[in-house]
Structure 1
């Protein structure tokens, strides 16, 4: 059980009235289509053991949803070591920043969600295996479709205008006082949007961005702040198999592959999947495990191509609810 207290946010990170007016609590936007997801996530992680204190290789990243899917992610060995290094950088150069980069699907966004869980579940005192003291501070999640502020036990979203929908002025955030460390800003944006604005010269925040190697996503702010780059290695076969076992779409994809193996012409299997399987000889309905292994080892990326629409529809969870490869 986590004994974290966020009451110090209002003391160490006061929020000017005129800036607070640019935000509203989650739920105040008039939506009535269900519980507040981000507040539920915040409340969930305030009660969990910090992921850095756990030796488990799997992590329940969000509470169980109404559809009872588990939404677990696989914790690669590099995740803990990378978080340790980013936290060390946060202390040594709070006016800097970090960029997590690598090939598409390598796990950048999943690592960012792991870091979010670490920051939302900061207990009182040191975190074992982190190697340094880390106190609870406000956290901003900055994605293409969602901007969320986790502050003082509540979740906030910026008010938008018809002229600039879904935008965020980082200058309206609470500000650290009396030597308090900067706010964390975790960024995960689509490449075509370019780089996030407002980070150059803003020393009240510490940005961590998950981005492709395309410098257009981060060139200006990373140069101005002397950001450090953290690369992720390619997945080993062992972790691909273990990650696939946790994938929320595993059953439906395997069902489609099995349907194709039985000769069902209406099978919803892509041409790329068919090419991979047909090039490896005659397979029967008894060869499902072999077929999936072929797809995962020879073309690990292709098996998730059909899920693009799923990621886009689940905008607030595009990177947090799925195991990505």
Structure 2
């Protein structure tokens, strides 16, 4: 393995840890002795081959370049309890640096606990650490279940069970420094199943512990108190990471083969090949219907259909890799599991929103299916801080609907509770959404003041709020509008003074829209509204298709045609070019909650499929009063 000249320098952490000498001492067999190996036996040839493959090797792209191909763990197999490969995320690189710095600067006295959302790859990260440590010839004690142990020593890999070492002194069955005054240590990488805590020998000198753990302190409470380790964590996956990791999922090729076999013509098959992927056909049917309405090409290629299924899973379930990939292959079961978790009480929700960002235990349904943790900051030697959010807009809207159906006053009370928790500001924003809708639909008098947002001219664009005036040609009327909830754009009659809200809680990219129609000039302005309290807002590319469907509907009505139906196909060149629809995007923030650098990061696809119906437009920020401002924060009242 050769080091690429374009990669970061070997062991970037040296610049602030400065303890390369100690790492070399750890790796020197002359500094260690191992007198009793009676409970240990040589591990299988796969484990021996794995150590040989990485021991003392130089750096390679798959270890330090997130854009490289996944890191293969060959010759380990699933029979060895190991995954076939690891997608090296950017957060793996920085978190490894933090772990290394903590260990070396404290001379092995202070370990690290790594937490985070279920299903984000904490176990995979332990294998990544293992490879990096073997490159430095470190001694490593390794267990991913707390029961089966592997010891990577200078002369080979050994295995035993935890039960064989319980109650014995480390000097009796583990390698120890030859000199009692020595600073050398061995690494203890472990993950414990259930709510059990690790055995003492895993966290006691000469071991330098690195634990990956579920949310809450039940798996590390005792040793955290005794050794005060660094508490850090891994973030959820990014959109690009999900895209990159998707082809390496076990059922990826099977789903692609099924799409190639039966997606285009399921009626010609005795059995639909997609039946073994519950929900996939229904998701793709929705895409086809939207394509008909927007007059796009109706049939996707199998590869594009697979990409659409991934986008749909991300839209609905968020950015936990386990949730997303599970949903692609069984959309129905994933939906059902989440929906069953939505039946929660206000008390449980309040308790979880307070407990999770403070590394405390919370209701399992809420921590696994409803709420997610996002790191606010992560730096060497600094205990991580979390912000709690809904896992996705779909999850948030469904939970809020469940709660508001019980009692509106209780929903208002919930907002007040969340406003007192600075780590739950994003939750507050989604709870405010129905009240923002009401404020826009029921306000009257002149025009809403808009704030310019400037594009960075990238593809896709990132729009950032500016504090300059909007031209007089752009005016969003402040008039009373009737709220209409719709299930489909198909057959929807577009009218002035109507405020349209999707009934589908999984509607992508925007939360509502309204239109200003001028029949005499056959023109219309389509106002697309997205409500947020986040400094950086993103969205889904699936929303562009919805917007083009609305534009096609508007143009049809401006020509005097009846509203298009889902089954109406429009031939190429059939649509008239006379009607004109201008799109304006509004990023809506509660008044007083805006940030000076509020941004809207549009998804990929901004410049695609725009020839017939152009979904692109200018972007503005709209501040909507939903309460009174107090000490820089919105105090909710209605």
Match for 1:90 among 100, 103, 128? 103
CA distance in 2, matches of 1:265, 1:65: 36
CA distance in 2, matches of 1:47, 1:201: 26
Which residue of 2 is the match for residue 127 of structure 1?
none
CA distance in 2, matches of 1:113, 1:152: 19
Alignment of 1:286-305 (within 5 A): 286=301, 287-299=305-317, 301-304=323-326
Match for 1:188 among 178, 188, 191? 191
Alignment of 1:278-293 (within 5 A): 282=289, 286=301, 287-293=305-311
CA distance in 1, matches of 2:281, 2:166: 42
Residues 97 and 201 (structure 1 numbering): CA distance in 2 closer, same or farther, change over 3 Å?
closer
Q: Deviations over 1:237-290 (max 9, x none)?
A: 111101213335421243356667454446464546566556656586733332
Match for 1:150 among 138, 152, 163? 152
Displacement after TM superposition at 1:180 (Å): 4.0
| Structure 2: runs of 5 or more not aligned | 3-22, 290-297, 331-638
Residues 92 and 295 (structure 1 numbering): CA distance in 2 closer, same or farther, change over 3 Å?
same
Match for 2:49 among 40, 44, 47? 40
**Alignment RMSD, CA only?**
3.8
Q: Is the 8 A contact 1:272 1:302 kept in 2?
A: no
How many residue pairs were aligned? 277
Q: Is the 8 A contact 1:23 1:157 kept in 2?
A: yes
2:72 counterpart of 1:61? yes
CA distance in 2, matches of 1:197, 1:64: 29
| Structure 1: runs of 5 or more not aligned | 28-35, 123-135, 308-325
Alignment of 1:1-325 (within 5 A): 1=1, 10-17=29-36, 20-27=37-44, 36-46=45-55, 48-50=57-59, 55-57=64-66, 58=68, 59-63=70-74, 71-93=84-106, 94-122=108-136, 136-144=137-145, 146-158=148-160, 164=163, 171=170, 172-178=173-179, 179-190=182-193, 192-199=194-201, 202-256=204-258, 261=263, 263=266, 264-265=271-272, 267=274, 269-271=276-278, 282=289, 286=301, 287-299=305-317, 301-304=323-326
Displacement after TM superposition at 1:51 (Å): 5.3
Relative to the length of structure 2, the TM-score reads 0.38
Displacement after TM superposition at 1:82 (Å): 1.2
**Structure 1 or 2: more strand by fraction:** 2
What is the SS of the residue equivalent to 1:245?
Answer: helix
Q: Is the 8 A contact 2:31 2:178 kept in 1?
A: yes
Which structure would you say has the larger RCO, counting Cα contacts within 8 Å and 6 or more residues apart?
1
Q: Give the number of the structure whose alpha-carbon radius of gyration is greater.
A: 2
